[in-house]
Every structure is written in structure tokens, then in C-alpha cells.
Amino acid sequence: MSLRYAALGLLAQHPGSGYDLLRRFELSMGNVWSATQSQLYTELNKLAGDGLIEVTSVGARGRKEYAITEAGRAALRAWVSEPDPEPIRNRRLLRVFMLGEVPPAQARAFFEQTVAASERTLAELQGLREDVAWSDTASDRYGRIALEWGVRAASMERDWAQWALGELDADGASAGHDEGHSVG
Amino acid sequence: MSLRYAALGLLAQHPGSGYDLLRRFELSMGNVWSATQSQLYTELNKLAGDGLIEVTSVGARGRKEYAITEAGRAALRAWVSEPDPEPIRNRRLLRVFMLGEVPPAQARAFFEQTVAASERTLAELQGLREDVAWSDTASDRYGRIALEWGVRAASMERDWAQWALGELDADGASAGHDEGHSVG
DNA sequence: CTTTTCATGTAACAAGTTACATGATTTG
DNA sequence: CAAATCATGTAACTTGTTACATGAAAAG
């Protein structure tokens, strides 16, 4: 259901073809939502069928330019403030839960990799924050706020993984990997 | 694919029936991964078919007790360290991206609700952190580390939403909601 | 004239949700 | 004996991914 609104939102900012949207998904929205080509074209046809967007012109190579309709804008406005019970699903944390089943060295490696990955993400996003020529438009303002979330999330994750490594050192000496009751 | 390993991981910690696992999903793992009854029973049959778990006894009301096999443990160990290209998909941030399409008051309300929601989550998880009688076992140690992630994530999100409200105050006065070019 | 880019679609599959369906055992 | 809990499953649907299929137009 979310892709529907992601596409609608992009068309609200600016009309375009499926192909255009696909690139905008990668560029401006890539850090927030992703879509495959297949899924997007299917959804655009559904959105048009529901009257939330419409084909405004057909160009070369069968290019169909879509624009959002008034009904579409209304649907988008309603969706933005809809309460969302975010299904909890975090693969990284799921793996953390399983760490008791692997040798301690593998657990350490897991957190070391997390630190490294977070630092890469952090560097990338901080680069973006500096390099992008932010305009004074509403979409750029909110794009910047979304990016700030990414920076803070990456930084939090790095700190957490580093803290976890410390925890392993602190009480890891006293406990084995299958059970915590003292072994020696 | 992840549910497979979530189930496998729970059975690695302790054998049990589908019904047992369902409760353990809600209790110990509920903040990390969720599963519907339907999905879980289907997956347990598949896991048994693949030899990663086995039925160790059949009790009253057709209750089947499952236990992990050696092949299952090996599969779990391999999965834990598997690199994961985490598809980026964050509904909250997707909504942030769309905030330029709604009136400024609705945008403010969005961040205010985010602050409130994060604070509720934070209070709940901090309560858990204090109330749970953490044992010295490996699973509890990693459970605590996972919980710590939740606390830090909620706290980060609250701070971010508060910062965003400040940003809206700072430059919100100069820009309208459809475009940023000066209006007055 | 060949390669790249533009441009759209369908089919098969995997993962997950909701609803439906059934029945045994324990508890009050 | 009625209600709650235990216990397992199937069917229909939605969402998302991978792979397949096609072809026009622009660029070198």
C-alpha cells in the first residue's frame, strides 16, 4: 500500500512517466523507499484506474506522462496523517537475538561489522547533506529533515554496536556461548 | 526467509510446539520480529520437511513438539553472519517526504505525534529494561543488547522530531507549503 | 549501423496477512 | 456442561522480487 503513496507523492511534486519516477525513486527517495520497475508500472496503472492520477500526454516510444488528480491529492493528504502501527521487523536485531547460538568470536565480528557498516552509511549521508544544493522549496526542506534522520540513525547504530562490544568484554569473560552458568 | 530463522532460533534456545513458539514470538521476540499463527505453522512444516527441525513427540490435542536438528543449528549459524543488504523502507520517513504536500499545521502535528509516540515507546522499553529479571544466560545477554537498541532508537527519534519542529519554526515563517519561493 | 538509453509491460514466485475451519482438553 | 484455552491447519488475497519479453529512438 505504501508504494501507492510514494508514487502519488512523487507525482504531486512533479508530473512524469513511469520511467521518470523510477529514477526519482533512486535519486531523491532512494534512502527512504525503493520500488522495482515491475511494481511501479503495475501500480501506476492501478492508480490511473482509480482516478488518483491521469495520463496527460503520450509521447515518443509510448511514453505516458502522468499527473496527480485532485482526488489523488486528497488521498495523499489523508494518508500522510494516518496513524501507522509500524509492524516491527528488524533483521539486524533478529540476528542479535540469535547471537547466543554462535561462538563468541562470531558475535564480536557481528558487532564489528555493524560498526563498519554504520560508519560507511554515516559518511555517505553526511556527504549528501553537504553536497546537495538544498533549495528553499518545501520538498527540499522535508528531504533535509528525512536525511537528518538517516544521519542520526546511523550514528546511533554505530554507538550502540560499540557499546555492545564493550558489554561483551565486560561480562563475556564469565560466560560461555550456549549458557551463562559458569563453566570453569 | 527471516521468519524461518526466527523460528529456528527460538527452537535452538528451547524445543516447543507451534503454539508455544507463537507465545514466545509475542513475549521475548515481539519487539524484533512478528509472525502470524498461519505463517508460523506453515513454516514449521517446511522446516521439518527440510530436516532443520524434527518432531520429537506428539502429545494431547495433536500437539507436536519440535526440536532443532544439527543441520538446523548449522543453518542458523550460517545465517547469523550472512551479509544483509537491508532493503530501505521506512514508512515514517516516506510520510516526511510527502509533508510538503500538506498544510504547515498538519506537518507540525505529524512531528508532534512522532514525539509523543517515541516517548511512549521509550517509557515502555525503559520499563522492560528495569523490570525484566535478566539472567546470566547468553540469550538474555543478547536480549538486553537488542533492547538497548530499542531504547536508543526511540530516544533518537524523539530528539529528531523535536529538532524538526524547531526547523519548521526557524525557516517555516518564510516559506509556504507548496513551494518555497517567497509568498509575501 | 550498433550500442545505449528510453519505455512499458507480463509471468512466476516468495513472503506475509486475514479470514475461515476444526476440534480436543481443561477450568469453573 | 459451558466457556476458555490449547492446538493445528487451509484458502484467498496483498505486496514485493526476479526474470522474461518487446521494441522505439537517440547517440556514437
Q: What average pLDDT does this structure show over B80-84?
A: 87
Query: What pLDDT, in 10s, does the model give residues A57-110?
Result: 999 999 999 999 999 999 999 999 888 777 678 999 999 999 999 999 999 999
Q: Is the pLDDT of residue A115 over 80?
A: yes
Selecting from A76, A92, A100 the residue whose C-beta is nearest the C-beta of B138 gives: A100
User: Among B114, B121, B8, which Cα is nearest to B66's?
Assistant: B8
In the predicted structure, residue A13 carries a pLDDT above the cut 80: yes
pLDDT score of A173 more than 80? no
Total-model pTM: 0.89
pLDDT for the residue numbered A147:
95
Nearest residue on chain A to B81, judged by CA atoms? A110
- Residue B177 has what pLDDT? 57
Report pLDDT for B53. Answer: 97
Bridge partners for A58 per DSSP: A64
Asked if strand D comes closer than 7 Å to A86 Cβ, the answer is no
Calculate mean pLDDT across residues B117-128.
Answer: 94
Nearest alpha-carbon partner for B161 in B122, B110, B123: B110
The Cα-based distances of A110 to A96, A98, A165, B84, B141 in angstroms read 8, 11, 10, 12, 15
**Chain A residues in contact with B94 (beta carbon < 8 A):** 2, 5-6, 9, 29, 32-33
- Give CA–CA dist B181/B177, Å, rounded: 10
